Amino acid sequence: MPRVAAVLEYDGSGFAGYQIQSGRTDRTVQACVESALTTVLRSNERVPILGSARTDTGVHAVAQVIAFDIEHDEIPSRLVHSLCAVLRPDAQIRAVCEVAPDFNPRKSATVREYCYLIWNSGIPASFMRDRMLWQSQSLDVDSMAEATQHILGAHDFTSFCATESKGQGSMRRRVESIQLFQRGAVIILRVRANAFLHNMIRIMVGTLLEVGEGKRAASSVADILAAKDRGAAGRTAAALGLTLTGIEFPPKDCLTEIHPETNDFRTMLFEGAEPIGQRPFVD
């Protein structure tokens, strides 16, 4: 029974998050993909999937990596096309490859990357309005970039975690890279870490927005981390601006065939772009 890895992308606008919620019937990415797999593979039982990241309601993905088992001797040649025909346009499989029987995308992932898009203009955008947060007040992006240096590295991110999620394990995470880009009216925050807490990036964005608005000093982010108190940080930014843009795995997992860490969305955002206040990766 081969195990298959697949790159999945979805528009989170119409989903109540990635993961099926016990006792609830909301539309989730996991439920839709499992239903499609069950249909396409003509299975008598529901085909379960494992995901690399559990995105919240309204959060998008262009590089979610999932894994599932099939009862065939090899991957059907038209599996991707068949799944795309069954799935709705807001969730699509991009590529598949066979992996080791014990491959688990959540446990194997070493780096997860998210991007948050802000439309900083006095006039709202109609194009991609469901992919960017509209911020009408002009932002001081240099101060925002300065503030990110305090987030880089390994910290206790209790202050950047949703209150209801505290007490569910270690609050310590390692942010390997955090960069701010600006392309015209579009401001992009790009964050890479080993893992993220619930709402961690959205609270980071809300805090950085308050720095950009002049409501907080860039240096205050260090104090926010030290406080280990959700009340010390800024607001939680809306989900619509957040997209899962990359997952990386150890070479032993042999995912080079599907390149989950590269996609056209990232190319569009970052090709030829220089980050504001370059922040190097942590050794």
Residue type, 190: R
pLDDT at 193 over 90: yes
Q: Write down the catalytic residue from 11, 56, 130, 156.
A: 56
Residue ranges and CATH numbers for the domains of the chain are: 3-108 (3.30.70.580), 111-244 (3.30.70.660)
CA nearest neighbour of 50 among 123, 15, 99, 12? 99
pLDDT at 258 over 70: no
Q: pLDDT at position 167, please?
A: 63
Q: pLDDT at position 268, please?
A: 79
3-state DSSP call for residue 46? coil
For residues 55 and 18, is the Cβ–Cβ distance under 8 A?
Answer: yes
In the chain, what is the greatest distance between 2 CA atoms, to the nearest angstrom?
60
C-alpha separations of 147 from 208, 275, 276 in Å: 7, 14, 11
CA nearest neighbour of 280 among 175, 144, 143? 175
Q: pLDDT at position 283, please?
A: 42
Mean pLDDT of 260-265: 66
pLDDT (tens digit per residue) in 79-114: 999 999 999 999 999 999 999 999 999 999 999 999
Mean pLDDT of 232-254: 92
Mean pLDDT of 72-83: 88
Q: How confident is the model at residue 36 (pLDDT cuts 50, 70, 90)?
A: very high
Of 58-67, 114-123, 156-165, 182-191, minimum mean pLDDT range: 156-165
Catalytic site residue 56?
yes
Q: pLDDT at position 281, please?
A: 45
Q: What is the 3-state secondary structure (H, E, C) of 122-175?
A: CCCCCCCCCCCEEECCCCCHHHHHHHHCCCCEEEECHHHCCHHHCCCCCCEEEE
| Average per-residue pLDDT for the chain | 91
The residue among 274 and 200 whose pLDDT is bigger is 200
Q: How confident is the model at residue 256 (pLDDT cuts 50, 70, 90)?
A: low
pLDDT at 64 over 70: yes
What pTM was estimated for this model as a whole? 0.92
pLDDT at 260 over 60: no
Percent of the chain with pLDDT over 90: 78
Kindly state the tokens that stand for 60: 């998008």
Kindly state the tokens that stand for 118: 């802000």
Per DSSP bridges, beta strands 3-10 and 91-99 are antiparallel
Q: pLDDT at position 105, please?
A: 94
147-153-154-157 Cα dihedral, nearest 10 degrees: 20
Question: What is the C-alpha separation between 233 and 84, in angstroms, rounded?
Answer: 41
Q: pLDDT at position 282, please?
A: 46
pLDDT at 66 over 60: yes
Q: pLDDT at position 77, please?
A: 84
